[in-house]
Amino acid sequence: MNISTFIFTAMFLWRYATVLCHYNETADIESILQEKLFKNYNRYRKPVKVSSNRIFVNITVYILSLSKLDIKSQTLHAANWLTYSWTDEYLTWNSTVFSNIDYVRLPADKIWIPSVCNLQEISGRRCLTYDSVKDSRSEAVIHSSGLVYLTETMDSIVLCKFDVLHFPFDTQTCIFSFISSTGRFQNTYLAVNESNYESLLYIGNEEWDLISTNVQGTFDLLIMKIVLKRRPLFIVLTVVLPIVALSIMNTFCFLLPIETGEKMGTSVALFLTFAVFGTIISDTMPQNAANISWFMVYVTTQILLSGLTVIMETVVLHLYHKDIGRSETIYIDKVCTLHNANNKRKDKNEEKYECVIAKTKATDSEEMWKSRAKKLDRVMMILNVCANIISICICMTIITI
């Protein structure tokens, strides 16, 4: 081993020993610091040295992802990261004395916790309390100035009041209402100006776009709002366009020739298809009479028009086939019988001639009913076309406004 290698090895070992000693010294100092902080600390005591002083709690909510927005149950399912911060005057130290240690990381169940509740939360973790941080194993980071940061990640289920009037081009707003349940008793208030609702870490959702977030309120009530807008392309392709196509097909039922015998079958099939679509849409809507989607009104209108089409096609077919066969045979038989009874001596050619005249009269009556049926069919087609155009124009205008 040459001299340069020996010197380099010695310097490396000396440096490693220095770092190791410094690490052990820092670790020991941090243990001493924690012992000093919690020697006479009482987590159930108000964290101010003057009891009349106020405590301000800052709340920052980071939305991480939006798993589901359930319109029917009117709930928002989201993954959130909540950060609570406040100042604890009993957890302060001089960082220069303790090897420049500025932060200490501890379990949250060792320090004082403010009581804060989210009124819209229904997942079971509505309030931040002593027991909740113990169950969730939350952690707190404490600064040398006494500033405490408590963070929690949770899958929230928030109750929202959705407006489906403009479905599927709707925009929904959900509200998070935070209150301090013990604020009046311990002078604990929510800092509105310092609280935030952030979307920096938001991953995104396939169905909804996050438009904006904002915070407002008072010291007693902190309101955070999130605005979401639906991406309508999927629903337009799978629901709206098929229903519009069915309404157009319903009009063409009147163009089918009566002689084919397909008018009634086609009308009934379209009516049943409309009923299925109506059931599917109603299953996704909240059962609230005060908030009904205009698109649902349009679908219901199409179901009624389709049902009216079935009724009118029944009337048309009844008029078209009125007294065919039975009435004709009875009428011819009566004429021929009466003629034979009064003129027994006429030859067979004259008898045949009289019966042919009776049959011609019966055929004229049949053609009259067929003509009436066809005219009624055309009138109903015109009315159906007008009703479809008016309903779809009104519905699309109201929905897209």
Q: How many CB atoms lie within 10 A of CB 218?
A: 10
Cα 383 → chain centroid: 36
Q: Which residues pair with 172 in a beta bridge?
A: 228
Q: Please give the Cα distance from 359 to 325 (Å, whole number).
A: 11
The DSSP 8-state label assigned to residue 194 in this structure reads T
Residue 93's pLDDT band (cuts 50, 70, 90): very high
| Cα angle, residue 234 at apex, residues 283 and 66 outer, rounded to 5° | 75
User: pTM for the whole thing?
Assistant: 0.73
Return the HEC string of 215-229: EEECCCEEEEEEEEE
Hey, what amino acid is at 10?
A
> What CATH homologous superfamily does 55-231 map to?
Neurotransmitter-gated ion-channel ligand-binding domain (2.70.170.10)
- Give the tens place of pLDDT for each residue, 289-343: 667 888 888 888 889 988 888 888 888 887 777 765 544 444 445 455 544 444 5
Residue 19's pLDDT band (cuts 50, 70, 90): very low
Residue 176's pLDDT band (cuts 50, 70, 90): confident
The DSSP 8-state label assigned to residue 238 in this structure reads I
pLDDT at 2: 56
Q: Which two tokens stand for residue 261?
A: 């015998």
- Indicate the domain borders of the chain: 1-37, 55-231, 234-400
pLDDT of 352 over the 90 cut: no
Of residues 394 and 352, more confidently modeled = 394
Q: What share of the chain is helix, strand, coil (3-state, %, to 5)?
A: 50, 25, 30
Q: Please give the Cα distance from 263 to 270 (Å, whole number).
A: 11
Cα 398 → chain centroid: 20
Confirm if 69 and 161 have CB atoms less than 8 A apart: no
Of residues 39 and 3, more confidently modeled = 39
